[in-house]
Amino acid sequence: MTVEEFISDSGSQTVKRVLLVVLRVYLGVILLVSSWGKLTGDGDFATRLAGFVSRNIADERTHGFYAGFLESVVLPNAAVFAALVMWGEFLCGLALVTGTATRLAAGFAMFIVLNFMLLKGHWFWMSSSNDAAFFLIGLVLVLGAAGRAFGTDYYLARKWPKAGIW
């Protein structure tokens, strides 16, 4: 086998979307479980969020470039950001489990996870960062149109084939 054949054969391989269903449902369940504790847990999530953000900044875990944003925007508006996180995780999780607007939901999930990762001071190459794995799962779901297999995106894509979010 020549190098050209190796590259050609490797580049022509595809993954069946049905295999992406496992990743889609997995990430969806992770988000649903995470949001459920925030939506139904004891105490005000806005207070818990503000405390978590403040502790990470005080312990200098948060990346310096991100700490200023957290201090000037997130902390003064903790109630708004708490609602965005809770409902964002819940709605993204529900959309991923059902395969509805999967690309959009996975994109939002990537955004949520990236912000959480930066808050904790992690990078993609850190072995302790499961958030990086969740981010990359979201990227695969966006690129693979994973909702078209065993999801409502299958029907939505047939009805509106030019919409890019299916």
With contact defined as beta carbons under 8 Å apart, do 144 and 27 qualify? no
What integer pLDDT is reported at residue 56 of this predicted model? 92
Question: Among the residues of the chain, which ranges form H helices?
Answer: 3-12, 17-40, 45-58, 64-69, 78-98, 102-120, 130-144, 153-159
What integer pLDDT is reported at residue 162 of this predicted model? 87
Measured in whole angstroms, how far is the alpha carbon of residue 161 from the centre of its chain? 24
Model pTM score = 0.86
Give me the sign of the Cα torsion angle 31, 35, 36, 42: positive
With contact defined as beta carbons under 8 Å apart, do 106 and 27 qualify? yes
What integer pLDDT is reported at residue 13 of this predicted model? 66
Successive 10-residue mean pLDDT values, the chain, 166 residues: 80 78 97 93 88 93 92 96 96 97 96 93 80 94 91 93 84
